[in-house]
């Protein structure tokens, strides 16, 4: 795995552990609903991760984008599909999404390079 991915995963895991260790009930339930929401249901997990990616892009949350890019990659979304998600997000959310798309492309490259 590349450096962007490792750094992101390490920091994310380390800080999530601290958040859960604080033992705030509401935060813990938000984390557990978050896990539940992306599981296979009427819609397959793959589509749900696409929804997670697109919503993260229009809300312009780089870390959320990285997380869902990773999940999309694991679930078999390909590069052409990812760019169609990017295109909907840039259209709906406007050109302010472009800088986040640049960083998303860089991260996606790391995910897909062998």
Say whether residue 113 binds a copy of itself (CB under 8 A).
no
> How many Å apart are CA 92 and CA 57, to the nearest integer?
10
The one among 54, 69, 72, 111 contacting a copy of itself by CB under 8 A: 54
Angle, alpha carbons 89-94-99 (nearest 5°): 80
* CA–CA separation, 9 and 4 (whole Å): 9
Residue of the chain from 6, 10, 96, 112 that contacts a copy of itself (CB under 8 A): 96
User: Which residues within the stretch 3-32 sit at the binding site for a copy of itself (CB under 8 A)?
Assistant: 11-12, 15-16, 18-19, 22, 24-27, 29-30, 32
Q: Which is nearer to a copy of itself, 1 or 59 (CB)?
A: 59
The least distance separating a copy of itself from the CB of residue 40, rounded to whole angstroms, comes to 10
47 touches a copy of itself (CB under 8 A) = yes
Q: Give the count of beta carbons closer than 10 Å to the beta carbon of residue 93.
A: 18
3-class state of residue 93 by DSSP? helix
- Provide the 3-class DSSP secondary structure of residue 72: helix
* Smallest separation, CB 105 to a copy of itself (Å): 5
């Amino acid at each position: 795995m590349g450096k962007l991915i490792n750094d992101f995963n390490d920091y994310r895991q380390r800080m999530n552990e601290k958040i859960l260790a604080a033992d705030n009930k509401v935060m813990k339930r938000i984390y557990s609903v978050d896990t539940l929401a992306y599981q296979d249901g009427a819609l397959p997990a793959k589509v749900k991760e696409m929804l997670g990616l697109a919503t993260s892009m229009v809300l312009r949350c780089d870390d959320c984008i990285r997380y869902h890019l990773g999940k999309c990659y694991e679930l078999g979304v390909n590069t052409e599909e990812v760019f169609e998600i990017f295109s909907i997000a840039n259209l709906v959310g406007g050109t302010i999404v472009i800088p986040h798309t640049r960083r998303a492309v860089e991260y996606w490259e790391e995910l897909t390079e062998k």
